[in-house]
A and B are shown apart, each in its own frame.
Chain A
Amino acid sequence: MNELEQFKQTYFQECEELLAELEESLLALQDNGGDTEALNAAFRAIHSIKGGGGAFGFDRLVAFSHTFETVLDMMRDGRAETSPENVDLSVRASDIVADLVQAARSGSDLPDDHGAEVFAILQAIGGAVEADDGDEYDDLDFTPVMAENTGNEPEAGEDFDDLDFTPVMVDDAQQGVPVDASPPAADVSGDDVTYTVSLVPHGDMLRHGNEPLLLIRELRVIGAVAATADVSALPSLDNLVPDEAYIRWSIEVTTPEGRDAVEEVFAFVDDDCRLTIEAQAPEDFSPPEPLLPEPIPPEPAPAEVPPSPAPAIEVERPAPQAPPAAKQSSSTIRVDLGKLDGMVNMVGELVITQAMLAQQGQDIPQDAHPGLHQGLEELTQHTRELQENVMAMRAQPVKTVFSKLPRLVRELSAQTGKKVNLVMTGETTEIDKTVIEQLSDPLTHMIRNAVDHGIETPEDRAAVGKPAEGTIHVSAEHRGGRIVIEIRDDGKGVDRDRVLKKAIDKGLVAPNAVLSDEDVDNLILLPGFSTAEQISNISGRGVGMDVVVRNIQNLGGSVLIRSTAGQGSCFSMSLPLTLAVLDGMIVRAGDQSYVLPLAVIVESLRPLETDIHPMAGDDNCMVMGIRGEYVPLVFLHRVFNIPSAVPEPWNGLVVIVETEGGGNMGIVVDEILGQQQVVIKSLEENFHRIEGIAAATILGSGRVALILDVVGLKALGQRDRAPSQSAPPLHRSTETPLPAAHP
């Protein structure tokens, strides 16, 4: 049945989210056993998984989830201890649940005893409690499929006590405004939490330049906000010290971002105020004081905030502006990715057409058609805005990929006997969904590498004075218009001698080659490379790393390894933020146009002949002196074999760009044609990957231009400079014309 399949798919998608949430909550519990919120969130997640699973007849999943849920419930109300052992057990149980979900999804069978041990322990704790409490299937919209052997019968009278509705008194003043007045219901993803922030400024606060107004507005960015002010301390005008702080606030903020996000807003004002932040557990949720519609008439004293009309208005006003606080499902909508891609594609085409129109428009005199020009300008603005909006739709936080890592590290830790602590930062960094999907494999592989080859055993670490537990730090951040993901470990670093020897043995490198440390480190990325003595089932097959690198390169990204022997390594992945559009600078070399990403350009200039120097007396390798520093030069016409280009930098232009590992590089071109936003068309999809070229595009003139990849150019430039190749020296006289360059 087609519809059933659709529901199933939706269920599995929701399970992904629920499992991620379960994982996160359990991690939080590991850090702090008293975190009741995390415990509640974990319970809700497993409860939802169980409910849905029952509807589709996933018996095993239901049975296991039920027992797991029972134990979580007991921990919630204190019948069982939230001890580290129980939390660890829960973590293991969540892994089993994930396996069961996966098996249900793929239709495969797990061995009968999979998870049996955990199940037994859970049952022992739960006392094999049967579902007498009547809250079995109350989350379901359709009749549960009767499964013969679960042993869980739904009760005749379905209770709704798990749906977390607290009835709210409605009176005229509220006029049925549901949004902030009702508690956030325990919905499928259960993300939203309401925090009450009490902000009592010290007298100096305003003098120190801190603005409560800005703080409240910052809170709005992360969620729905309702502020209540207490002006009782405000004196009369005569007695008022103008920049003294008198007002205090109680602020309700409902956000899925977690307590940290709320705390961060107030990070700089801690010292200037008395601040408390309290989370409200949904079960206990009663509408906060100011929102409770007490039928009290406004108090006569004008300085007091009248409680009755005030809350109604405060509740209503934030509602239209801020994202709704209630059910997550009402504020998001699932869209088939294909449809979104279709739209992105069309917007891309729109941008190209608009660029062409703009180009044509330049030939039409402004005076004759002022309306046309204005229209074209507006079109440009609207197109850009449309594009930004559409791209934003596809942006997701990296969190979704990162959330799988803790479990991976746990498994690897157990398998290798090494102790590893995983630290993740920058999870809220957003990138395009398609890029995210490609991240999962590379990340997994690199983490495996780090645990397998990087982090030493506890004994080895102790022997060199390191703490027994190794640390892997995974971070994501936006840098220079790209996203950079780094995996650092504090292990033993790359064993360069061993790597070099292996590379030579495998014929990947000439025996007498002179390689820098960085070059040796990056040998690991070559195909067919592996130094593991035993090919473990984790890594070491030698096929992994190069596939990883290739996948990343296919996205227009790059991988870099930096390592310090004995201290650790850092694998750094750099990816474009979006695969669709780029702000670029159009440059020309000969009769070819190229596009340089604007984000990497530092500056451009025409150097003097005297600024250009050969390195170590070798004319192949040129540097440009600028403001006391030397920048290596890459000649486009040499790298890409363009006969008609201007070979001398002092007759052309040098565009200085930033490179990945820091440091700048100068690209020699003939001239700069202008700046344009270009739509990226992938070469890999339509042709194949070319080093030095990230992608292609169609300019406003209709011609095709290639988008340069700075990292690739650097490598090409270095190879171009290698002593084995020779290029004719630059002719320094300005009188005689140059013969055509033959690279």
Chain B
Amino acid sequence: MVKTPIKIRAVMKKRPGKVRRPAESPTSGEGQHLMDLDIGAERVRIPLPAALNTSDSASLRATLIEAAKKGLTVAIDAADVERMSTACIQVLLSAGKTYQDQGTDFVLSRPSDAFIADFNDLGLFSILMGWTVES
């Protein structure tokens, strides 16, 4: 009998649990800390993180407002996005609309597959089509 290295594993029995929804803490208000802004000569780039939870929505909003003040083209870099909460998607949508109203140039840069899938699943793909998207 060939002996293989032994790992004595305690196998944990998983009890099916109730589905628990995490309660996100409410966030809103002024003085939100901003996300990183990459300010170049012609554009200010906002690199979106991999995860945009509901709790990030206030920060995202403040960042988008701040970015527009620079007077440059705002580039929302979505290359790293892996999942987005509906709250943050709303913020982005609102930003798109506001920028268009204000006349701020903006572009959606390198949206990841997950980003597109999130928009699509929520029935928002058509709005994405109305934006300037660069890959």
Contacts and interface: CB of A to CB of B under 8 A. Distances in A.
A407 B85 CA distance: 48
Contacts of B41: none
Contacts of B21: 208-210, 268
A206 B6 contact: no
Given A206-B87, A238-B98, A302-B100, A231 B127 contact: yes
B64 to A, nearest CB: 6
B57 A237 contact: no
Contacts of A303: 97
B101 interface: yes
Contacts of A208: 21, 23-24
Interface string A305-322: 110011001100100000
A313 B11 contact: no
Contact of A268 (B11, B19, B22): B19
A302 B115 CA distance: 20
A195 interface: no
Interface string B85-96: 111011101111
A690 interface: no
A601 B58 CA distance: 47
A213 to B, nearest CB: 5
A242 B91 contact: yes
Contacts of A241: 28
A238 B62 CA distance: 9
A602 B125 contact: no
B26 interface: yes
Contacts of A703: 1
Interface string B116-135: 00101111111101100000
Contacts of A310: 125-126
Interface residues of A, number: 63
B97 A236 contact: yes
B26, B86, B101 — most chain A CB neighbours (10 Å): B86
A216 interface: yes
A249 interface: yes
Interface in A136-178: none
A209 B127 contact: no
A241 B60 CA distance: 12
B90 A246 contact: yes
Interface in B29-77: 54-55, 57-58, 60-61, 64-65, 68
A174 to B, nearest CB: 14
A209 B123 contact: no
B125 to A, nearest CB: 6
A305 B19 CA distance: 34
A212 B94 contact: no
Contact-size category for B: 35 or more
A468 B27 CA distance: 57
A313 B64 CA distance: 28
Interface in A203-227: 206-213, 216-217, 220, 225-227
Nearest to B121: A216
B12 to A, nearest CB: 9
A49 B120 CA distance: 41
Contacts of A317: 120, 125
A591 B1 CA distance: 9
Contact of B87 (A216, A237, A242): A242
Nearest to A674: B4
A235 interface: yes
A329 interface: no
Please give me the 3 A-B residue pairs with the lowest Cβ-Cβ distance, nearest first.
A227-B123, A242-B57, A310-B126
Interface of B: 1-11, 13, 19, 21-24, 26-28, 54-55, 57-58, 60-61, 64-65, 68, 84-87, 89-91, 93-98, 100-101, 118, 120-127, 129-130
Interface of A: 206-213, 216-217, 220, 225-229, 231, 234-238, 240-247, 249, 251, 268, 302-303, 305-306, 309-310, 313-314, 317, 359, 362, 480, 588, 591, 593, 598, 601-605, 653, 658, 671-675, 701, 703
